[in-house]
Amino acid sequence: MELVTDIQIEVNGIRYTGWESVSVTKTIETLCGSFEFDGSFTKGKTFPVKVNDECKIYVNDTAVVNGYVETLKVSIDASTHRLSISGRDRTCDLVDNTLSPAIPLPKLPATVKQIIEKVLQFYGMTNIKVIDPYNLAPIKEVITAELGQTAEDLIQQYASKRNVLITTNNDGDIVFQRAGTDIYKTILTRNKKDYQVIKGSDMSFDNTKRFHEYRITDQGNSMSDYYIGNQSTTKQNSDVSAKDFDEEIRKTRIYYLSSDDTSEDEDVKKRVKWEGNFRRAQSVVYECDVVGFKPLLDNGIWLPNKLVRIDDVESNITNATLLISSVTFKKDNNEGSITHLKCVPQDSFTLQLNKPKKQKSDELDFGKFYVKDLSSGDGNNA
């Protein structure tokens, strides 16, 4: 069996190699990364990795996951002895644990960092740090923990009020992030003579969660009034405390967000912009596979929350600059080393929805990059 040395799992200070297939994912869209390892072992020997073991995952000697082995499957018959293990970052308990409405949150106003630290303390997870590089302002409005809601859901709700993503760093600590601005020198292309080669790609469009107008209304207004005709158009508009528009979506789609009368005007405006862009980020996704784990012209390995330029003519994407939202490193004895990149418009997770630019009749506008209409070519907005 070919030894795999560039993706390794470390348990109790020992790194294990020789896996026949490996997959490791890091993303800015969820709280923790994940991993899967599969391989064979010698008959009569016990593999020294157990469920609940603490572990670290290394890609090209760079730590990317610090967490736990959560599942282990051993298959043994006369000819094969196989082992499969998987797990996630040590923040996985926040993803799984459900809340009690009586969870003791700090007295408001409090920062998102203080709120998360209180949740971690409640679960006895004080070994996880919370890193706030933005020194975010305190939150004034209360979000009530609901029975059955996960801890991740609760803290993500608080984080959205300050327009930040909650992810884990390579040490398994919680860190706040906003859309990255660093761009790789490496350009991805189908042309084998230029830059790094795209092996395969997928493009998807889904506007089911996008709206033309996002509105936050005053807390005291009854939402039913908007639907039974008790208020005039003038009154409705005066009750809207903040709104933002996604001009790529038809005007009949409107989304109302809840508000609190303690919210600052500027915070409310940022909140409504964030909602629109976050939903847009989920609607346009480009995914591709490239050879190896390292960007050809850059140091280190591929990482999420960085920008990359893509020239994929076969997918009708030309001179695109996209934000990498997720990275999956894969290696097996048949395919070799592959990095799977999930990319979204580069202004996703920011506060500004780009205004549509004038486009050619065979192109659709998606913020900072363009793709040709694969269906009708009539130039209508998606």
Residue 174, C-beta contacts closer than 8 angstroms, at least 6 positions apart: 31, 91, 116, 128, 129, 130, 131, 166, 167, 168
Check whether residue 40 and residue 171 sit in a common domain.
no
Residue 235, pLDDT above cutoff 60:
no
pLDDT at 89: 97
Radius of gyration of the chain (CA): 24
Average pLDDT, stretch 4-14?
83
Look at 127 and 103; give whichever has higher pLDDT.
127
Overall number of domains in the chain: 4
CB 276 within 8 A of CB 207: no
Check whether residue 171 and residue 188 sit in a common domain.
no
Check whether residue 231 and residue 293 sit in a common domain.
no
Is the residue at 379 inside a domain? no
Residue 2, pLDDT above cutoff 80:
no
> Helix, strand, coil proportions of the chain in percent (round to 5)?
15, 40, 45
Is the residue at 187 inside a domain? yes
Query: Dihedral through CA 97, CA 98, CA 102, CA 106, nearest 10?
Result: 50
User: Which among 40, 61, 89 is the end of a domain?
Assistant: 89
Check whether residue 339 and residue 191 sit in a common domain.
yes
Structure-token pair, residue 285: 């996704």
Average pLDDT, stretch 154-175?
92
CB 54 within 8 A of CB 171: no
pLDDT at 120: 95
pLDDT at 239: 54
Structure-token pair, residue 174: 């919680």
Percent of the chain with pLDDT over 70: 81
Check whether residue 287 and residue 273 sit in a common domain.
no
Strands 165-168 and 284-291: unpaired
Residue 354, pLDDT above cutoff 70:
no
Check whether residue 33 and residue 155 sit in a common domain.
no
Which 3 state secondary structure label does DSSP give 159? helix
Is the residue at 2 inside a domain? no
Which 3 state secondary structure label does DSSP give 30? coil
Per-residue confidence band for 284, with pLDDT thresholds at 50, 70 and 90: confident
pLDDT at 217: 74
Residue 202, pLDDT above cutoff 50:
yes
Q: Which sign, positive or negative, has the C-alpha torsion 61, 62, 68, 74? A: negative
Is the residue at 117 inside a domain? yes
pLDDT at 264: 65
Residue-wise pLDDT for 106-124, tens only, equals 998 999 999 999 999 999 9
Check whether residue 40 and residue 78 sit in a common domain.
yes
Is the residue at 1 inside a domain? no
Structure-token pair, residue 311: 């020239």
**Tokens 């040490």, located at residue:** 171
pLDDT at 370: 40
CB 303 within 8 A of CB 186: no
pLDDT at 358: 42
Per-residue confidence band for 1, with pLDDT thresholds at 50, 70 and 90: very low
Look at residues 174, 379, 210 and name the one whose alpha carbon lies nearest to residue 283. 210
Residue 172's domain spans which residues? 94-177
Residue 232, C-beta contacts closer than 8 angstroms, at least 6 positions apart: none
Residue 261, pLDDT above cutoff 80:
no
Q: Which sign, positive or negative, has the C-alpha torsion 109, 110, 116, 121? A: negative
Question: Which CATH number goes with the domain that contains 196?
Answer: 2.30.300.10
Q: Is 211 left (phi over 0), alpha (psi -120 to 50) or beta?
A: beta
pLDDT at 96: 96
Answer whether 0.85 is exceeded by the pTM. Answer: no
Check whether residue 219 and residue 276 sit in a common domain.
yes
User: Which among 281, 308, 341 is the end of a domain?
Assistant: 281
CB 325 within 8 A of CB 348: yes
Q: What angle do CA 86, 290, 337 make, to 5 degrees?
A: 50
Compute CA 105 distance to the chain's CA centroid, rounded to the nearest angstrom: 26
Most confident of 46-60, 157-171, 295-309: 295-309
pLDDT at 238: 44
pLDDT at 7: 94
Compute CA 266 distance to the chain's CA centroid, rounded to the nearest angstrom: 25
Is the residue at 83 inside a domain? yes
Check whether residue 71 and residue 116 sit in a common domain.
no
How far is it, in rounded angstroms, from Cα 223 to Cα 231? 11
Check whether residue 201 and residue 287 sit in a common domain.
yes
Look at 124 and 379; give whichever has higher pLDDT.
124
pLDDT at 80: 75
How far is it, in rounded angstroms, from Cα 165 to Cα 147? 24
Is the residue at 381 inside a domain? no
Look at residues 119, 126, 127 and name the one whose alpha carbon lies nearest to residue 98. 119
Is the residue at 377 inside a domain? no
Average pLDDT, stretch 208-233?
59
Residue-wise pLDDT for 11-61, tens only, equals 989 999 889 999 999 999 889 999 999 998 776 667 778 999 999 999 999
Check whether residue 217 and residue 261 sit in a common domain.
yes
How far is it, in rounded angstroms, from Cα 307 to Cα 286? 13
pLDDT at 356: 42
Per-residue confidence band for 353, with pLDDT thresholds at 50, 70 and 90: very low
What is the rounded average pLDDT for all residues in the chain? 81
pLDDT at 245: 92
Residue 371, pLDDT above cutoff 70:
no
Residue 374, pLDDT above cutoff 50:
no
User: Which among 26, 61, 89 is the end of a domain?
Assistant: 89
Query: Residues for the chain: how many in total?
Result: 382
DSSP string, 64-133: EEEEEEEEEEEEE-SS-EEEEEEEEETTHHHHHPBPPTT--PPPSSB-HHHHHHHHHHHTT-TTS-EE-T
pLDDT at 259: 60
Look at 305 and 220; give whichever has higher pLDDT.
305
pLDDT at 4: 38
How far is it, in rounded angstroms, from Cα 60 to Cα 8? 8
Question: Which CATH number goes with the domain that contains 122?
Answer: 3.55.50.10
Residue 226, pLDDT above cutoff 80:
no
Check whether residue 309 and residue 195 sit in a common domain.
yes
